[in-house]
Amino acid sequence: MTLVGPGGAGKTALALAAAELVAPDHAYGVVVIECGRLPAETAAPDGPNLVAEALRSALDAPIGRESPLAATAQILQGQQRLIVFDNAEHVRRSCARLVDHLSRSCPRVRHLVTSRHQLGLPAETVWEVEPLPVPAAETWQSDQIAASPAVQLFTRLARQIRPRLDVASQLTAVAGICRDLGGLPLAIELATARLRAMSISDLADRLTANQAVLTATADHRLPHQHTLQSTFEWSEQLLPPAERLLLARLAVFPATFDLAAAEQVCGHDPLPVADIAPLVTSLVDHSMMQTVDSGTELHYRLLPPIREFAPPTGPIRPSPKPPDAAICAGAAPFCKRSRTPRETSRRRSRRPPRTSTTSTPPWCGRLTRTIQHCGPRVPRCWPLGDRFSSNQG
């Protein structure tokens, strides 16, 4: 099973919480491979074996003459284990190669992967981890705002930092902050950390102006989670150049848009109109864009933090001739109504998980139910316990 979703959506949190819950089903326990600390497979001398080598090391398998694939398969033979490959987007092919091999040679081993992008294996079950729901811009009732999962997370974290903080009287501002942050738990964590030295209204004002103010003070995070901008850049560097360029152009849409609008606004040199549909698909597959599915129509939207960091005037300068004001103006008619950044987030339609069309292994049933049960209610702390071993040292 692969948990996919944008950076900071909570994939790792969900995977570890689910692994903790299903660990007792696995006589040999759980191994966590923290792929986020591995180099990119494209830059490593032995890229295709990168993840297998990390697993071999986590399993304490002696280095012999056999390949890491063969060595890990030999150790895992007959074992009932869960292996979590966490943050695997930059080693996707190496991970897919290993999981494919182990699925065939060690059928009792189960694999749980977190990544921006699915592995692309035939028997893979893909589960989309979406950001936390945020209150709709038109929601003014306090109880409805307070019930939103993003606001609840904000409130809980804010109270840990300033126990006397009066969140209840500032719910509208909090709702705006959560919308600006696209409901991403990572962004909400970084934002609430600012409350140590800032009021909620100061935070709201500064976020509207510039989300780069969000930086982490804790260094237990992977480097790409230190700031919202570094999370974006980590995701963006995994994109091929054409997708990067399209992403920068799509950032002119202040709200949702459909494929025809994307083709009309973004399909110009060097991106022909005919290329826009496959590139849009690729951006969705890389979790850089979200779909809003009404059942009959499919629209797209960029999460506000992604739009913030991907605009034509932002850190990406993909083309010597960046899209100009005319393009921005051209995008407006395609949006249901032109909104301010604060207003752009819409209530997301909760979609059933994307699952592979081929057979789903029966063991996925309990893991799927566990993931479903955890949903957005992942506990704040999920002790790994001694059932886990990992390559984190």
Residues that bind ligand ATP (CB under 6 A): 5, 7-13, 87, 114, 153, 185-186, 189, 224-225, 231, 376, 378, 380
Decide: helix, strand or coil at residue 299. strand
Select 12 or 344, whichever has its Cβ closest to Mg ion. 12
The residue range among 80-88, 102-110, 167-175, 350-358 that interacts with Mg ion, by the rule CB under 5 A, is 80-88
Could you tell me which of 154, 148, 196 has the C-alpha nearest to residue 174? 154
For residue 290, the cross-strand partners are 301
- Angle, vertex CA 227, rays to CA 230 and CA 85, nearest 5: 65
Show the binding pattern over residues 34-73: x = contacts Mg ion (CB under 5 A), - = does not: ----------------------------------------
Minimal distance, residue 9 CB to ligand ATP, in Å: 4
Minimal distance, residue 82 CB to Mg ion, in Å: 17
Which of the choices Mg ion, ligand ATP, none does residue 153 contact, using the CB cut-off of 5 to 8 A by kind?
ligand ATP
- Whether 213 contacts 180, CB under 8 Å: no
Which of the choices ligand ATP, Mg ion, none does residue 348 contact, using the CB cut-off of 5 to 8 A by kind?
none
Six token digits for residue 172: 């509208």
Select 321 or 380, whichever has its Cβ closest to Mg ion. 380
| Phi, psi (degrees; rounded to nearest 5) at 387 | -80, -5
**How big is the site for Mg ion, counted in residues (CB under 5 A)?**
3
Which of the choices Mg ion, ligand ATP, none does residue 7 contact, using the CB cut-off of 5 to 8 A by kind?
ligand ATP
Question: Look-up: residue for tokens 């950044």?
Answer: 341
Q: Give CA–CA dist 325/288, Å, rounded.
A: 23
Minimal distance, residue 386 CB to Mg ion, in Å: 22
Q: Is the dihedral of CA 308, 312, 313, 316 positive or negative?
A: positive
Q: Give CA–CA dist 171/167, Å, rounded.
A: 6
Minimal distance, residue 286 CB to ligand ATP, in Å: 11
Q: Give CA–CA dist 382/380, Å, rounded.
A: 7
Is residue 87 a contact residue for Mg ion (CB under 5 A)? Answer: yes
Q: Give CA–CA dist 370/116, Å, rounded.
A: 21
Q: Give CA–CA dist 3/12, Å, rounded.
A: 9
- Angstrom CA distances, 112 to 49, 154, 375, stand at 18, 28, 16
Minimal distance, residue 144 CB to ligand ATP, in Å: 20
Select 290 or 344, whichever has its Cβ closest to Mg ion. 290
Which of the choices ligand ATP, Mg ion, none does residue 185 contact, using the CB cut-off of 5 to 8 A by kind?
ligand ATP
The residue sitting closest to Mg ion, measured at its beta carbon, is 12
Angle between helices 171-180 and 149-161 (to 10 degrees): 110
Select 49 or 87, whichever has its Cβ closest to ligand ATP. 87
The residue sitting closest to ligand ATP, measured at its beta carbon, is 10
Q: Give CA–CA dist 317/311, Å, rounded.
A: 9
Which of the choices Mg ion, ligand ATP, none does residue 376 contact, using the CB cut-off of 5 to 8 A by kind?
ligand ATP
Show the binding pattern over residues 11-30: x = contacts Mg ion (CB under 5 A), - = does not: xx------------------
- Whether 391 contacts 32, CB under 8 Å: yes
Minimal distance, residue 115 CB to Mg ion, in Å: 8
Minimal distance, residue 94 CB to ligand ATP, in Å: 17
Q: Is the dihedral of CA 350, 355, 357, 361 positive or negative?
A: negative
Count the Cβ atoms, other than its own, within 10 Å of residue 181. 30
DSSP H or E run through 290: strand 290-293
Select 276 or 289, whichever has its Cβ closest to ligand ATP. 289
Which of the choices ligand ATP, Mg ion, none does residue 341 contact, using the CB cut-off of 5 to 8 A by kind?
none
Select 184 or 207, whichever has its Cβ closest to Mg ion. 184
Which of the choices Mg ion, ligand ATP, none does residue 13 contact, using the CB cut-off of 5 to 8 A by kind?
ligand ATP
Contact positions toward Mg ion, by CB under 5 A? 11-12, 87
